[in-house]
């Protein structure tokens, strides 16, 4: 039987997204995901307790020329899901069960930084808060995501 994923297939994608080399062996079978690539998200720091990434405003705006509210949520869900996955480990996977965001101010240019901090890291649930800021450090939005942790099924 032919396997859909070849180990190492997404290594260059992981490097481009700033994923630390220590996670390449585990993540190189799936990469960071097409939406992460399209949005231009770059990881700065990765861990279960804290994950940080940037995303450009350019290319992710809505009709008024400001960062799309959905782009805030994409960044938040990306950070929270990766952090929860790191907590779960390679023998388990996470599935988002709740995400919500409050938008505080708009931004029309530059880079947005998302900082994801663990609120709860349990055996079956992981909850993170994600704060998006502009280049001046002003808070743009606050999000929260909860992921359920499941065991991988053997094939």
Token output for 140: 């743009």
Q: Who's near 140: CB < 8 A, 6+ residues apart? A: 67, 72, 103, 104, 105, 106, 107, 112, 132, 133, 134
Q: Nearest to residue 46, comparing CAs of 115, 127, 94?
A: 115
Could you tell me which of 91, 146, 150, 100 has the C-alpha nearest to residue 120?
146
Give the whole-angstrom CA distance, residue 52 versus residue 115.
5
Mean pLDDT of 28-57: 94
Strand partners, 116: 51, 130
Whether the per-residue pLDDT at 29 is higher than 80: the answer is: no
For the stretch 77-100, pLDDT in tens is 999 999 999 999 989 999 999 999
DSSP H or E run through 72: helix 69-88
Which residue in the list 22, 58, 77, 135 is annotated as catalytic?
77
pTM assigned to the model = 0.90
Q: Residue 22 catalytic?
A: no
77 within 8 A of 94, measured Cβ to Cβ: no
* Average per-residue pLDDT for the chain: 92
When mean pLDDT is compared across 12-16, 69-73, 121-125, the lowest value belongs to 12-16
């Amino acid at each position: 039987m032919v396997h859909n994923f070849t180990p190492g297939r997404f290594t260059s994608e992981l490097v481009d997204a700033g994923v630390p080399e220590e996670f390449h062996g585990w993540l190189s079978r799936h990469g960071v995901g097409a939406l992460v690539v399209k949005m231009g998200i770059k990881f700065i720091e990765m861990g279960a307790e804290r994950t940080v990434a940037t995303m450009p405003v350019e290319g992710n705006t809505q009709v008024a020329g400001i960062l799309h509210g959905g782009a805030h949520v994409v960044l938040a869900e990306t950070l929270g899901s990766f952090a929860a996955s790191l907590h779960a480990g390679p023998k388990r996977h996470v599935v988002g069960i709740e995400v919500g965001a409050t938008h505080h101010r708009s931004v029309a240019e530059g880079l947005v930084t998302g900082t994801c901090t663990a609120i709860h890291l349990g055996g079956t649930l992981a909850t993170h808060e994600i704060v998006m800021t502009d280049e001046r450090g002003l808070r743009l939005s606050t999000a929260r995501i909860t992921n359920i942790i499941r065991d991988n099924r053997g094939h």
